[in-house]
Amino acid sequence: MTGVPVPYRVVRTRPETADTVSITLAPAGTAALAPFTPGRFAMVYAFGVGEIPVSVSRIGAGELVHTVRSVGAVSAALCALRPGDRVGLRGPFGTGWELPRAAGRDVLVVAGGIGLAPLRPLVLAALAAPDAHGRPNLLVGARTPGDVLYAKQLSDWAAGGGPLHCAVTVDRPSPTWRGRVGLVTELLNEAWFDPANTTAFVCGPEAMIRATARELVRRGLAPDRVRVSLERNMRCGTAHCGHCQLGGALLCRDGPVIGWDLARDLLTVREL
């Protein structure tokens, strides 16, 4: 084993959807993890329950935000945290989105469901450095309107006025939904990007990643400029437990963000 969890304190929690909570954490003592960059993840330890990998969904001064969807024992325990509670963190682990490598190019961010969480700090970083890139785009798909993360921030962005082109679509609308309905790939037509000079950042369910990456390549993006973030079971974060293998990749080390040039073959073999 490599390193033990560093205690962090829950500063605040914020429900995002019916099953998803954002948890803001700050070091509980003097020890703190090395700085995170967008796309990287921490192993988050819930006392007495266990540890799961969670990407950072916001990187603040001395604070980290993790957005967690309750799907198992550990994530349920994390979603139930109250301010003042403690967790343990190890990390940062994995590859990041590496926004600086997209310098000078249009930035196209495509998110499906909870996949928006690791992409949010990337969008914020792109907005913070407007001169480094072409126009930033954020396209978001969700199952239902109730599944849209960071809804307030998205509607502010989608209202326009800023440099970001933001659009949101859902698969199944509610009676009060007045936004778009359909697949996230359908939003590509209105996005502003030059396929020959764009880096895309994609995260969501695997079927959505596959469909989006294929469509982007069809539109002329180079496969290695379509960066996707993948998910597998992880127990250690340090490339020792073997669980996060996807073909020749160990996703905690070689991922979670990898190029579609590598991911394409790995995601087309069933049960790999």
Partner 1 sequence: MPDRRTTAVLDLSGLDALVEVLRGQGRTVVGPTVRDGAVVLAELDSARRLPFGWGTEVEAGRYRLVPRADGAAFAHTTGPQSWKAFLHPEREKLWSVDRGADGELSVTEERPPQPSYAFLGVRPCDLRAIAVQDRVLAGGRYPDSGYRERRVGAFLIAAECTEPGATCFCVSMGGGPGADAGFDLALTEVVDADGHRFRVRSGSDAGEEVLAAVPHHPDDPATGTAARSAVDAARERMGRAMPPVDLRALLAGSLEAERWDDVAARCLTCGNCTMVCPTCFCTTTEEVTDLTGDHAERWQRWDSCFDLDFSLLHGGPVRASGRSRYRQWLTHKLSTWYDQFGSSGCVGCGRCITWCPVGIDITEEAAALQAETSAGLPHDDREEPRR
Map residues 66-85 to x or -, x wherever contact with partner 1 holds by CB under 8 A: -----xx-----------xx
Query: By CB under 8 A, is residue 232 in contact with partner 1?
Result: yes
| Residues facing 177 on adjacent strands | none
- CB of 241: closest distance to partner 1 in angstroms? 5
Q: How many residues bind partner 1 (CB under 8 A)?
A: 42
- CB of 70: closest distance to partner 1 in angstroms? 10
Identify the residue whose tokens are 């982007």.
Answer: 216
Residues 240-269 that bind partner 1 (CB under 8 A): 240-243, 245, 247-250, 253, 269
Region of 128-136, 188-196, 214-222, 225-233 interacting with partner 1 (CB under 8 A):
225-233
Region of 5-13, 58-66, 141-149, 180-188 interacting with partner 1 (CB under 8 A):
5-13
- CB of 3: closest distance to partner 1 in angstroms? 8
Identify the residue whose tokens are 């979603």.
Answer: 79
76 phi and psi, to 5 degrees?
Answer: -65, -40
Contacts with 5 (C-beta within 8 Å, 6 or more apart), sequence order? 43, 45, 51, 87, 88, 89, 90
Q: How far apart are CA 82 and CA 153, in angstroms?
A: 23
Toward partner 1, which CB reaches closer, 197 or 245? Answer: 245
Identify the residue whose tokens are 């695997």.
Answer: 206
Toward partner 1, which CB reaches closer, 71 or 196? Answer: 71
- CB of 269: closest distance to partner 1 in angstroms? 5
* DSSP E strand stretches across the chain: 6-17, 20-27, 41-46, 50-60, 63-69, 86-93, 106-112, 136-142, 165-170, 180-181, 198-203, 226-229, 245-246, 249-250, 257-259
Toward partner 1, which CB reaches closer, 214 or 253? Answer: 253
Radius of gyration of the chain (CA): 18
**Please, are residues 231 and 252 in contact by the beta-carbon 8 Å criterion?**
no
- CB of 47: closest distance to partner 1 in angstroms? 6
Region of 86-94, 121-129, 184-192, 215-223 interacting with partner 1 (CB under 8 A):
86-94
Using CB under 8 A, pick the residue from 11, 26, 32, 239 that binds partner 1. 239
Using CB under 8 A, pick the residue from 26, 33, 86, 156 that binds partner 1. 86
Identity (one letter) of the amino acid at 34? A
H helix count then E strand count, the chain: 5, 15
| Residues facing 52 on adjacent strands | 44
Query: By CB under 8 A, is residue 127 in contact with partner 1?
Result: no
Spatial CA neighbour of 49 closest among 33, 72, 21, 22: 72
Q: Three-state SS for 141?
A: strand
Query: By CB under 8 A, is residue 179 in contact with partner 1?
Result: no
Q: Footprint of partner 1 on this chain (CB under 8 A)?
A: 1-7, 28, 45, 47-51, 71-72, 84-88, 231-233, 235-236, 238-243, 245, 247-250, 253, 269-272
